[in-house]
Amino acid sequence: MFKAQKSYFIVDAGNTSIKVALVENQNIGTVQRVQTWDEVLKLVKDRHVVLASVLGSEVHSLLQLNTASVYQITSASRLPFKSAYTSMDTVGVDRLCNVAAAKRHFLDNNTLIIDIGTCVKFDLLSSEGTYLGGSIAPGIELRYRSLNDYTNKLPLLDFKGAVPLIGQNTQSSIHSGIINGMSNEIQGMISRYEIDFDQLQVFITGGDASYFDFPQKSNIFANKNLTLEGIVEIYKIHAL
């Protein structure tokens, strides 16, 4: 039987990293980014855990064996927003958490959430508080990998920092194409949404968001912990 907790850990298990934070009285404490489940278990052993995971069911089983209790957020969880999405059973739990967090922040405005990580995800919450859907595209690492995987001669590179507009060798040309291309892609998408949805506010989150400089506009907000805030918001509904 579900029992709400005032003190618990939240675990956001993504494709490339895991975020863990202690929540007390609905306030999120220090966020730790870890790479292995051994590190997670050291932090949450014998504690209550709220889990949001895009990984397989084995994650839930692992936590069940090592914690006091686990509540897992899924697409079937009660949500603090209405939805017009036609396949809620397939939508990623990270997207649902992002929208839940945005719902907490929005003031009757159309709200666009951009999550830049393994994938680049756009999600729109209407001014009526309805989740309309969005888009999914490859993130930085996937773009670098694809150039190496699907060509014979292009190397596999890692992104290290600022890139030129004009690449003067193969490596810098790849960096320019991927990073500058993604930046313009994202800003172009924001402009499209601003045309179609008035009074648009934009939340930008995700592990790779810091690699991009976005226009200093009053309607654009960076929030690196948006997904974690959404986990708390969804859990609060079940804790009532």
Helix (H, G, I), strand (E, B) or coil at 23: strand
Domain-embedded: residue 113 = yes
pLDDT at position 2: 52
Q: How far apart, in whole angstroms, are the C-alpha atoms of residue 164 and residue 120?
A: 22
Using 50, 70 and 90 to split pLDDT, how confident is the model at 65? very high
Give the closest residue to 116 by CA, choosing from 231, 191, 213: 213
What residues make up the domain containing 16?
7-72
Both 19 and 126 in a single domain?
A: no
Residues 6+ apart with CB under 8 A from 214: 186, 187, 190, 204, 220, 222
Using 50, 70 and 90 to split pLDDT, how confident is the model at 77? very high
pLDDT at position 240: 60
Domain-embedded: residue 85 = no
Q: What are the pLDDT digits (tens) for 108-119?
A: 899 999 999 999
Residue 158 is a catalytic residue? no
pLDDT at position 14: 86
- Judge whether 36 and 226 are in contact, CB under 8 Å: no
Q: Which of 46, 89, 94, 108 is catalytic?
A: 94
What percent of the chain lies above the pLDDT cut of 70? 97
Both 120 and 41 in a single domain?
A: no
Using 50, 70 and 90 to split pLDDT, how confident is the model at 97? very high
Does the structure show a pLDDT above 90 at 104?
A: no
pLDDT at position 26: 86
Both 30 and 115 in a single domain?
A: no
Does the structure show a pLDDT above 50 at 163?
A: yes
Domain-embedded: residue 218 = yes
pLDDT at position 1: 41
For the four alpha carbons of 177, 183, 189 and 194, in that order, the dihedral sign comes to negative
pTM of the predicted protein model: 0.92
What total of structural domains would you count in the chain?
A: 2
Give the closest residue to 70 by CA, choosing from 38, 31, 97, 41: 41
What is the arithmetic mean of pLDDT over 18-37? 93
**CATH code of the domain covering residue 200:** 3.30.420.40
More confident residue, 135 or 107: 135
Helix (H, G, I), strand (E, B) or coil at 210: helix
Helix (H, G, I), strand (E, B) or coil at 92: coil
Domain-embedded: residue 201 = yes
Range name among 2-11, 137-146, 180-189, 206-215 with the lowest pLDDT average: 2-11
